Structure 1
Amino acid sequence: MTPPEPTDVMMQLLGGFQVSQAVYVVAKLDVLTMLDEARGLLTVSELAEKSGAQVEPLRRLLRTLASLGLFTLDGDRVSLAPIGATLSRNASASLYGAAIMWMETHYAPFSDLLHTLRTGEPAAAHYLGKPFFDWVNENPDRSQQFSNAMASVTSGLRTGMFDDYPLPGGELIADIGGADGSVLVELIKDLPDRRGIVFDLPPVVPAARSTITAQGLDGRVEAVGGDFFDSVPAADIYVLSYILHDWDDDAAIRVLQSAAKAGGSGARVLIVESIVPDGSEPHLAKMVDLTMLGMLTGMERTQAEYESLLNAAGISIDRVVATPTPYSIIEATVS
């Protein structure tokens, strides 16, 4: 196969903003869920009627997205391809919530990315007039949307991550910044001798309580609201899953120090993150780092950079466990 011309590749990269908007629109119109639930073919006209879209604009949009693998078109009839199926609300690892959240919270702020490169200030903070998480958490619906979207993304990407993973000893596990509690539930649901705490900001607590109840763990797991920069509950093991990458070094060290202070010497710390590899090969962490650059003060880090963070907080790395996912588990102990 002849490799594409560099100009063709660059045109695809430059037009990426249009594609992401097109994907957002068909997700927002619920076209992908409609096709999924139909269990077969629907016509463009049927989809337009069900979604409230105009027939011809929808036809043109679907034609473009079909060329990118989201749909299959046979004349006027449309069927869902595996890529498109990931945006059905009913998909087992649905990315619907992420598609809506990213485009409604990240897309516009990224227009200020040049500002970040010139000043060091996150584009989101400049565009929104305040830090991104402050903006998210001032609105309960927005906070819930963000929490649900991140849970769906990480749950899909971390499938199989804890398979055969031996959780270190310790009765009480605290998931710091645990969002909807899905990570903690996955870790201890089959370990009846373990108890858990999902710790996150007060607006997030209801989502965690719902997960705990749905999994039948009300007696073993509680959801607690608070600010991990101030203090965290006492526990034997602290889990920080996809948390430290949201913050700059000083803030990340403060979070780790909160855990070290509450847990005391000998407490275990499990950090679940996507570690940036050396070299120029593609890796999820490098793409996510672009999101961090534009939206937050945080960053994706190398193993050496995580070791420096932990040492600064009085915590030592024991080992790094590779998983069949893009994530690794850094096991550490409070000195």
Structure 2
Amino acid sequence: MANEVQDLPAALQMQQLLAGFEVSQALYVVAELGVATALLDGPRSVEDLAETTNADSDALGRIIRFLTPLGVFRSAEGGVEITDLGRTLADGPADSVRGLARYWMETHYSPFSGLLHTARTGETGATKVLGKPFFDWVGESSHLSELQNSAMAGGGRVARADLLDAYQLPEGQTIADIGGADGALLAELLAKAPERKGIVFDLPNVVAKATETLAAAGVDKRATVVAGDFFVDNVPAADVYVMSVVLHDWDNATATRVLKNIAGVATAGTRLVLVEMVLPEGDRPHFTKMVDLTMLALLGGRERSETEWRGLLTESGFALDRIVSGSGLLSVIEATLN
């Protein structure tokens, strides 16, 4: 498909790029209706799919036809079947991003209509379009808050890939996951370290399901759920602080404020583990550059290069020790409080 696009005249290539919003909306329909999930057991006719997913068969068939050349579906005896790529929009597969697809389209799409405003003023498109900061808007809806938790947990697992398989946390009895949402990451870390205890710390509406998550993983006896705001409340005392895909949400001044809040509670030698993307230098394509644009439009945050991470940590009183990468998008950035 990529070669076919490159063979087109420049104006047609640009038209295909401009139609990207149609692709994202069509994928959202597949995710929201559960089309990919309905195809996990094998090929089905479009009519059968439409009945199962409560959709109009003509409309659904045309959406499937549109997405088939992109590798999401393929024709099969008896109708249509899902590809390995399309399976990622289904419930069940370990690499599912269905939650992410639903969350992005229900929360990101509208704010991106304000990107021109962002380019002209520096103000986020979310604030312009929604009338308030993005997370404030999400937090007003239990539905969107649940979508966000699901998307962050599922999307985080996919982005981490094998990063944590062989990785060992720095020594320390108590792990505090700051901005830990539903506790999924802490549950994974505690399962690998049966001798340790943990704390999940996040906003009340965000951390609401953490107790259930930790209990389901069998680590609730060693974990505590604490509700709070890391901008205004003291974070819990711990030996190792973990923050997974949190600081990229904020500009440098705000991220420094969060890190200094941790530094104000911790003692010299306390370890900090950031699970974040590290922006590569140069012009080569990289998914992190797309995420950086998302941060610009929605939150005013940013992705950072190794040099930028080192500078941020130094400004906040930490020394960057090492960066560990896996096969996925995220890396572990280890630091020590001076």
Tell me the equivalent position of 2:123: 121
Letter matched to residue 21 of structure 1? Q
**1:229 aligns to what?**
231
Contact 1:35 1:80 (8 Å CA) reproduced: yes
The runs of 5 or more residues in structure 2 that have no matched partner are: none
Q: 1:31 to 1:165 in 2, by over 3 A?
A: same
Question: Which residue of structure 2 aligns with residue 43 of structure 1?
Answer: 45
**Distance in 1 between residues matched to 2:128 and 2:270, nearest whole Å:** 39
Quick check: 1:274–1:284 contact (8 Å CA) kept in 2?
Answer: no
Shift of 1:75: 7.2
Runs of 4+ in 1 over 6 A off after TM superposition: none
Distance 1:151 1:8 in 2: 38
1:257 matched to which residue of 2? 260
Aligned pairs for 1:22-33 (under 5 A) are: 22-33=26-37
SS at structure 2 position matched to 1:279: coil
Residues 232-243 of structure 1 aligned to structure 2 (within 5 Å): 232-243=235-246
Match of 2:86 in 1: 84
Matches within 5 A, 1:1-335: 3-5=6-8, 6-36=10-40, 39-74=41-76, 77-230=79-232, 231-335=234-338
- CA–CA separation in structure 2 for the residues paired with 1:330 and 1:35: 39
Q: Distance in 2 between matches of 1:31 and 1:309?
A: 44
Secondary structure of 1:278 counterpart: coil
179-188 vs 95-104, which moves further: 179-188
Question: Take 1:228 and 1:211, find their aligned partners in 2: how far apart are those partners?
Answer: 21
Identity of aligned residues (%): 48
Give how far 1:325 is off.
1.9
Q: Residues of 1 paired with 2:58 and 2:165: CA distance?
A: 48
Q: Contact between 1:63 and 1:73, CA under 8 Å: does it hold in 2?
A: no
CA distance in 1, matches of 2:216, 2:122: 43
Compute the displacement of 1:315 (Å). 1.0
Contact 2:43–2:77 (CA under 8 A) maintained in structure 1: no
Deviations 1:193-226 (A, max 9, x none): 1111011111122221111000111111111110
Comparing 7-16 and 289-298, the one that deviates more? 7-16
Offset of residue 324 of structure 1? 2.4
1:64 partner SS: helix
1:291-333 deviation line (CA, Å, top 9, x unaligned): 1111111000111111111111111111222222221111111
The Cα shift of 1:86 comes to: 0.6
What are the superposed Cα offsets for residues 160-191 of structure 1, whole Å, 9 maximum, x if unpaired? 11122121111001010011222222223121
Aligned partner of residue 27 in structure 1, secondary structure = helix
> Deviation at 1:76?
6.3
Structure 1 portions without partners, runs of 5+:
none
Does the CA-based 8 Å contact 2:190-2:219 persist in structure 1? no
What's the TM-score, normalizing by structure 2?
Answer: 0.95
Q: Retained in 1: the 8 A contact 2:89–2:98?
A: yes
Confirm or deny: 8 A CA contact 2:172 2:239 kept in the other structure. Answer: yes
Task: Give the RMSD, CA atoms, in angstroms.
Answer: 1.4
Distance in 2 between residues matched to 1:315 and 1:18, nearest whole Å? 44
CA distance in 2, matches of 1:99, 1:327: 19
Residues 26 and 325 (structure 1 numbering): CA distance in 2 closer, same or farther, change over 3 Å? closer
Contact 2:183 2:207 in 1 (8 A): no
Query: Residue 145 of structure 2 aligns to a residue in which SS?
Result: helix
Give me the TM-score of the superposition, normalised by structure 1: 0.96
Asked if 1 retains the 8 angstrom alpha-carbon contact of 2:43 and 2:78, the reply is no
Following superposition, the deviation at residue 74 of structure 1 comes to 3.8
Aligned residue-pair number: 333
**Counterpart contact for 2:320–2:333, Cα < 8 Å:** yes
Contact 1:44 1:76 (C-alpha < 8 Å) held by counterparts: no
Partners of 1:121 and 1:45 lie apart in 2 by: 46
